[in-house]
Structure 1
Amino acid sequence: MSAQTQQRAANEPLLSASAASLRSDLNAFARQHLPEAMTPARFVILEQLPKLPNGKVDRSQLPLKDASESAISNYVAPTTPEEMRIAQIWCDVLGLARVGIEDSFFDLGGDSLAAAQMAARVKEAFGVALSLRRLFDQPTITELLRMLGAKDGAPESDAGNSRSLSHEDLAAEAQLPPDIAPEPDAAAAAGAPYRSILLTGATGYTGAYLLRELLDRSDAEIYLLVRASDVADALDRVRDNMQTYGLWREADLPRLKGVVGDIGRPYFGVTRTVYEEMAQRVEMIVHNGALSSYALPYRRLKAVNVLGTLEVLRLACRRRIKPVHFISSLAVFPGHQGPQDFAEVTLTEADGVVGGYRQTKWVSDKLITQAGRRGIPVCVYRPGLITGAQDSGACSTDTFLNAAMKGCIQLGMALDFNVLLEMVPVDFCAQAVAHIALSGSRHGTQFHLPAANTVRWGELVDMLEQCGYPLQRVPYPTWYRTLAAAVEGGADNALAKFLPLFGADMPSADVGYPGSAPHFRTDNLLQALDGSGIQCRRIDPEFLKLYLDYFVATGYLPAPQRSQS
């Protein structure tokens, strides 16, 4: 509704009721005819759509929330003793004054760690353990009470993984919209050396190293899309992030252009003036921004990981054709029993790709290659699990692998889980991407960036022991019961926020495919890096100690008990 209509609704209850009724009908229709992952979270009613000068919808001017949706119309109060008891727990965990029984725990600000804390409180209050997997799929008090009533505790199979879409739905998601194609009057793509680059995800771990390499290997000005209050805050966030890993140089500042925006919003949520400036000036895009949580379902990651990719591609088509270099992942490949061989080619198979994060990366990877066929120069980079820097050991604490190592160290025991790990040093990844992207000569190519040597989880546990962190090897069910008891008891375990990924009998396939033995070819990568001097360090106890020492120095890990010679 327009502002005028909102005022009318405030004075005319029938108009407000009509809008509420329409939203309710639309929601019911969508839930009946659409897969749950595609059901809109909110319906906003407008008298007319805002338009751009070319007649297309101006999505940057669409309201994020309909002001006519009052707290009263959305709020469904708890009425039974059980509803009120759980609502109070939610209020305590989330720091809210009230919650409704149809409110989503995650829309209210909850995350996976808060969900684990809330589940522990609910178990204490009701004596029933919640399935966190189901909670992530149906995060309302109403559905939570149904879970408590069922009391079955039945483990969910991966076929019913609540974080995943079916491979048929994935194929439907991976269709590039028809409007994403170079504008008829768009200027041709500029060649290297590039004068202006857009980098997404600069406030993340890999983003910090990518920015360092782009600065060192070019003279370009670099636009940085950052969620911030203003431009100064955006640049402060970038500076702070790079300082964390010892990468910041004050002399870089004049070449950085902070852009206050959100990759998950239409037109990045920036003003038309800023958008047009980027459309005109940017000559190349490195798209690294993404939510990397393995614990969240596809639908909660889609806005940033999939729709954000579409927004990057739309910008690449506007005013000037811009090459797009997309940071994908080796997680896009399906997991099946036995050996598999994956060439550096366009993705085909979606069956066997499980988990929200993996699936959003698969969809985005497909969208990028489709855009390439429409005339946008593209490159796709698929790294393995990003680990510590080869020179300093500097490493992010916000990764599943590092949380798994710390969580096991905190428990004093390691789970028995036969999966292969492709651990790729962050600086090698950034060097390879920057070198290839800035050359401007490899468009239309996919590159795999696996580890120099694949290690099994059990081998990594052996290395941890050699570095002074002895871990008791126990069967998986024993390890899980110990972890669950620690989390429910309030222990500050690094794996608490990933508890939904673990079932009582086995882990979800989101965290790895036991029995799968993939081999990732690197012909394109080796050819592109030939003569560059860029090399990937092997994962061995000496390298692992380098970044474990970094974790100890930063307080993330306790000092090791001992080291084996």
Structure 2
Amino acid sequence: MTQTAWAAFRAELREFASGQLPDAMIPSRFVVLPELPKLPNGKVDRSRLPAFTHDDSSGAAAYLPPRTPEEIRTAAIWADVLGVGRVGLRDNFFELGGDSLAAAQMAARLHAATGTQIGLRNLFDHPTVERLVRHLESRGTEPTVGVKGHPRSIASEDLSAEALLPDDIVPAPDALPASAGPYEHVLLTGGTGYTGAFLMRELIDRSTARLSVLVRADTPERAAERVRATMEQYGVWRDGDEKRFVGVPGDLARPYLGLDRETYRALSGDVEMIVHNGAWSNYALPYRRLKPVNVLGTQEVLRLAARCRIKPVHYISSLAVYPGRPGDHHWAEDEATDPEGVVGGYRQTKWVGDRMMAQANARALPTCVYRPGQISGAQSTGSCATDTFLNATLKGCVQLGAALEFDVQLEMTPVDFCAATVAHVALGGQWHGSSFNLPGGHPLPWDQLVELLAECGYPLRRLPYPQWHAELTAAHERGEENELARFLPLFGADLPAEDLGYKGSRPLFGTTNLRAALAGSGIECLPPERELLGRYLDYFEAIHFLPARAERTTS
């Protein structure tokens, strides 16, 4: 196998494994055999499997030794940090077992050895010795990376091809027609996530339906336990809820949702409506890594919806499906049709899912699409998730004592407002074929958010982006704890990644459908002002996510 073919095959193996296994179980190395040795009974003879060494034949064919002093020094540091015998010129840092922590250690070691500051984003964008050394040698002369060269994205033309719905996803000829409601049996995906917990609460409160919740678990009992634990964590569990739902062990990344034949057939015939909230929400991962869950999983949901009984599908998308562009742009609640400017793995997977919903609806499979902004805490209680990028940024800036200057505006959508909207519209069954923008109360410029933090007891220095980034990376290299550590690949030395926001962008999101659907419902969204932000910060302080605040200013 040639070096190029082996590298491509190894990447395909890792992509497949990442869709089937937890991160910690994904192999960092592979051995390729013509066939597996077998026992007479047909089972694999493990005793005859070759022992793995770093110099296995497939890897040796791909090994290219470093040549220049810079390449040799970099490869030696990588080998020491990763604990491997040798590192070739084109070996991928992350395929050799590297992670964000190892990347930070490697960057610190290179800095100490060469005096050159290596940003973690540089390593994620240039993950081989050859590419990293070349990048560092040409730093300052390379053109700015544009959308087509975005390291976590695929090209716009490829994205359009990815969004083509498979031909077999059409209502079965003998499928029962969609129910007009009220629904007796609803399937929910993503029920163990933050938004999922509030969707559970709203679906239970607003209907008498029994809920089946797809969860990665070994047994139905363990699946139900995970749902309950999440609802308890965010304060939305009530006694008696256990009688309203069942956990369904499954996996969005697997064919037929990882369900056995009997369970799949039962859900196909019994479920009357689906709320598809499940997704892998990670801005730091590339499109190909997120695809099994976010894209293929969405296909499987639509495939289930078309079998035995036609089931309306209500899909939680994102405002991030709209292209990022500087200046003023108005985005109506139309189909997502323009992929140019949609960058970043997570954003692109949601764009693909959004497009597939429109195609499914055109094939007589009813769908609705909901596009919230950045999901923020509950406006009723202040309960917030701590693992979102926005909240990690808030905590990271508080830990650093400084905020970056960033000319972007935030669309903050309270989680309970989002969940109430989805449940109200989905259970009503009147808006099939529609899309809804859920941008929140009003846009909040980043600098105003920093001002609100100061008023609420967290004053921060405001630094030009390059200075803020230098302080953040220096703190990380000193071993100081910072919530933004896992997101460092998204921050370049000169500017943040494009998928975090667009300087000078002022999008205006139409809400005609949303306002019509919520008319008379009593569902309202609070604006992201001091009262609401203070409620969030009270919650963060109570659970010790943020430190106790300094004396607060009066308004």
**TM-score interval w.r.t. the shorter chain?**
0.7 to 0.9
Shift of residue 263 of structure 1? 0.7
| SS of residue matched to 1:495 | helix
Asked if 2 retains the 8 angstrom alpha-carbon contact of 1:76 and 1:100, the reply is no
Q: Could you say which residue in structure 2 is the equivalent of 1:274? A: 263
Asked if 2 retains the 8 angstrom alpha-carbon contact of 1:116 and 1:497, the reply is no
Q: Could you say which residue in structure 2 is the equivalent of 1:136? A: 124
Q: Could you say which residue in structure 2 is the equivalent of 1:14? A: none
Q: Are residues 1:484 and 2:483 paired?
A: no
Counterpart selection for 1:423 from 405, 409, 412: 412
Q: Could you say which residue in structure 2 is the equivalent of 1:315? A: 304
Q: How do 1:85-234 and structure 2 match up within 5 A?
A: 85-91=77-83, 112=100, 115-121=103-109, 123-124=111-112, 128-137=116-125, 139=127, 143-144=128-129, 146-148=131-133, 150-152=135-137, 153=139, 156-159=144-147, 160-234=149-223
Counterpart selection for 1:386 from 375, 379, 388: 375
Q: Could you say which residue in structure 2 is the equivalent of 1:56? A: none
Q: Could you say which residue in structure 1 is the equivalent of 2:491? A: 502
Q: Could you say which residue in structure 2 is the equivalent of 1:441? A: 430
Partner Cα separation in structure 2 for residue 471 and residue 100 of structure 1: 43
RMSD of equivalent CA atoms = 3.0
Unpaired stretches in structure 1, ≥5 consecutive residues? 1-20, 48-66, 92-96
Give the AA of the match of 2:284. Answer: A
Asked if 2 retains the 8 angstrom alpha-carbon contact of 1:226 and 1:260, the reply is yes
* Alpha-carbon displacement from aligned partner over 1:235-266 (angstroms, at most 9, x marks no partner): 12111111111111231112222121211111
Asked if 1 retains the 8 angstrom alpha-carbon contact of 2:91 and 2:129, the reply is no
Partner Cα separation in structure 1 for residue 257 and residue 15 of structure 2: 19
Partner Cα separation in structure 1 for residue 256 and residue 91 of structure 2: 28
* Alpha-carbon displacement from aligned partner over 1:15-69 (angstroms, at most 9, x marks no partner): xxxxxx5x989657889xxxx999965899999xxxxxxxxxxxxxxxxxxx989
Partner Cα separation in structure 1 for residue 85 and residue 215 of structure 2: 31
Which deviates further from its counterpart, 153-162 or 397-406?
153-162
| SS of residue matched to 1:371 | helix
Give the AA of the match of 1:87. Answer: A
Give the AA of the match of 2:136. Answer: K
| SS of residue matched to 1:448 | strand
Partner Cα separation in structure 1 for residue 232 and residue 350 of structure 2: 28
Asked if 1 retains the 8 angstrom alpha-carbon contact of 2:81 and 2:105, the reply is no
Q: Could you say which residue in structure 2 is the equivalent of 1:50? A: none
Shift of residue 148 of structure 1? 3.9
Asked if 2 retains the 8 angstrom alpha-carbon contact of 1:90 and 1:99, the reply is no
Give the AA of the match of 1:86. Answer: W
| SS of residue matched to 2:186 | strand
Shift of residue 151 of structure 1? 2.8
Q: 1:232 to 1:113 in 2, by over 3 A?
A: farther
- The normalised TM-score by structure 2 is 0.85
Q: Could you say which residue in structure 2 is the equivalent of 1:364? A: 353
Asked if 2 retains the 8 angstrom alpha-carbon contact of 1:89 and 1:122, the reply is no
Partner Cα separation in structure 2 for residue 319 and residue 69 of structure 1: 48
Counterpart selection for 1:518 from 507, 512, 517: 507
Asked if 2 retains the 8 angstrom alpha-carbon contact of 1:196 and 1:222, the reply is yes
Unpaired stretches in structure 2, ≥5 consecutive residues? 18-29, 36-47, 67-71
Q: How do 1:396-435 and structure 2 match up within 5 A?
A: 396-435=385-424
Asked if 2 retains the 8 angstrom alpha-carbon contact of 1:134 and 1:162, the reply is no
Give the AA of the match of 1:89. Answer: V
- The normalised TM-score by structure 1 is 0.84
| SS of residue matched to 1:339 | strand
Partner Cα separation in structure 2 for residue 425 and residue 277 of structure 1: 35
Q: Are residues 1:246 and 2:235 paired?
A: yes
Shift of residue 88 of structure 1? 4.0
| SS of residue matched to 1:435 | helix
Aligned residues: 513
* Alpha-carbon displacement from aligned partner over 1:298-353 (angstroms, at most 9, x marks no partner): 11111111111111111111111111000000011112221111111111211111
Shift of residue 112 of structure 1? 4.4
| SS of residue matched to 2:375 | strand
Q: 1:262 to 1:184 in 2, by over 3 A?
A: same
Asked if 1 retains the 8 angstrom alpha-carbon contact of 2:77 and 2:106, the reply is no
Which deviates further from its counterpart, 439-448 or 253-262?
253-262
Q: Could you say which residue in structure 1 is the equivalent of 2:293? A: 304
Shift of residue 113 of structure 1? 5.5
Partner Cα separation in structure 1 for residue 86 and residue 187 of structure 2: 40
Partner Cα separation in structure 1 for residue 246 and residue 97 of structure 2: 30
| SS of residue matched to 2:393 | helix
Q: 1:488 to 1:29 in 2, by over 3 A?
A: closer
Asked if 2 retains the 8 angstrom alpha-carbon contact of 1:37 and 1:299, the reply is no
Shift of residue 521 of structure 1? 0.7
* Alpha-carbon displacement from aligned partner over 1:186-237 (angstroms, at most 9, x marks no partner): 1111221111111111111111101111111111121111112322221121
Q: 1:122 to 1:217 in 2, by over 3 A?
A: farther
Shift of residue 370 of structure 1? 0.6
Shift of residue 270 of structure 1? 2.0
Q: 1:118 to 1:269 in 2, by over 3 A?
A: farther
Q: Could you say which residue in structure 2 is the equivalent of 1:537? A: 526
Q: Are residues 1:555 and 2:555 paired?
A: no
Partner Cα separation in structure 1 for residue 316 and residue 479 of structure 2: 37
Q: Percent identity?
A: 53
Q: How do 1:441-480 and structure 2 match up within 5 A?
A: 441-480=430-469
Asked if 1 retains the 8 angstrom alpha-carbon contact of 2:82 and 2:98, the reply is no
Give the AA of the match of 2:82. Answer: W
